[in-house]
Structure 1
Amino acid sequence: MSSPSGVLRLGGAEFGPGQYAVMAVLNRTPDSFYDKGATFAFDAALAAADAAVAAGADIVDVGGVKAGYGEHVSTEEEIRRTVPFVAELRRRHPGLVISVDTWRARVGRECAEAGADLINDTWSGADPDLARAAAEYDVGLVCSHSGGLGPRTDPHRVSYADVVADVESTVVGLAERAVSLGVRPDRLLIDPTHDFGKNTYHSLELTRRLGELAATGWPVLVAVSNKDFIGETLDRPVAERGPGTLAALAVSAWLGARVFRVHDTAAARGALDAVAGLAGADGV
């Protein structure tokens, strides 16, 4: 059911097999785990987006709510943080693929109306209407795995008989549901969603066996940048996880991932270009 040509189409952009798309993280939040609110202010966020595009970002992913625990953010506040920004980003960069990181259908609809091309649902269809919103506006959708957790919750003694099998069943099922609701197959991605509903062992296992997810035929997005499984594996705080992040990106690319959500666009672009060169023009 995935795109017969293997081409991912988002907005006016096309990404074929063997092409690596860099998705730059842009948090319009005051409490991000990584930047601690550095891009919460509107002008600071615009400057960061401009810099990411100049550094080689293919996609900018705009989020208005911190993924983990923190102060409650209402739907109205999330819209206030994201919709005007998406509209301005679309004006400044007409050809850029704009993504919005949200689990709420209302936010997805309003951001799509403002110019977003992709809805990045990191909470595994917690709002069942989100896929319908993607279909209504003919935008892309990321289908993720959170191990049954609700938005903004952390795993506690989570276990799987086979984490990769559980992830594959969930994300493929969500992709097939999205198609049944009218989302175009060539606008869908699957995301194993490292660390969401998983411990470090699970995230490492997913990284090592990522080829099994790529073999489904759906384009795979990985969001490993500076995550806890890298920090715990290498015993490094957030500020020192850059080398580990690049290693995880390279392994993921070699095993078939296509889209990479990152904090350091320039470093990721360089690493992925190197992988593409080593793999050859037609990919691995």
Structure 2
Amino acid sequence: MTTEKQNDKVWFVTGASKGLGADLVQRLIGEGYLVAATSRNKLALINLIGEQENFLPLMMDVTSNADVKNAVQQAITRFGRIDVVVNNAGYSQIGAIEELTPEEVQKNFDVNVFGPLHVIRNVAPHLRAQGSGHIFNIASIGGFVGNFPAFGIYCATKFAMAGYTEALAVELAPFGIHTTLIYPGYFRTNFLEKDSAMVPAHPISAYANVREQEAQHLDEINGNQPNDSKKAATVFIALSKQEQPPVHFFMGLGASDFVKAKLSVIEQALIDHAELAESTAITY
């Protein structure tokens, strides 16, 4: 058991000006942790927390590798190290696969997939050098279950994060670095508000199921999510204190229901088609 005080740890949190990130940073600061928090809007961070000795607000565009490298270096210069990284920055691009433009798709991947990779690429050398650390990659339940019409591209970005996080976990384990992939269910944040979730620029009217799902999320689920993001902050801190934290963590009431439903479908598909699937074996 380490003798290091837990609140001596330095946290680096992206997308920290609202939602889960904002609640996490506020909780961390309140408990005396050292926190570097990033946003495209530095003033929003200052307005959220104020000027505090243990808080470093940083303006950072997660899609810019140069921006990320600079922010990581500023955090290390200020606090001497980084211990816990939370890749939280991201947004939901709504729209049917057919109707989304290449630019809409690319932007969602730039922020949700390549942005966290910039952070990992720039922070990993420091974590390896100190022989410790914990990376949280915030996916979504949509990074495990993708059958949401209107959210295919967003789910694809989170599936991508899930894929490289599984590899990252085994790559970094020999260096004493933990990696946890968080799959949040529905949390009551501004994630589904109209200034956060992006709707398609050129909707196709034929996709009635897509419009129905879009309206359900923006008008019915939004504001009625069953989970409290302030309680999620407590969960992150608890996970960061575990000696052997999980690689996969499904967070929030209802998340496990989605997981069990998909596992059931996959298991049944394996059973129903086993003979045909294995008919490709080379015989001698």
- TM interval, shorter chain, is 0.3 to 0.5
Q: Structure 2 length as normaliser, TM-score?
A: 0.38
Rg larger for = 2
In proportion to residue count, which structure has more helix?
Answer: 2
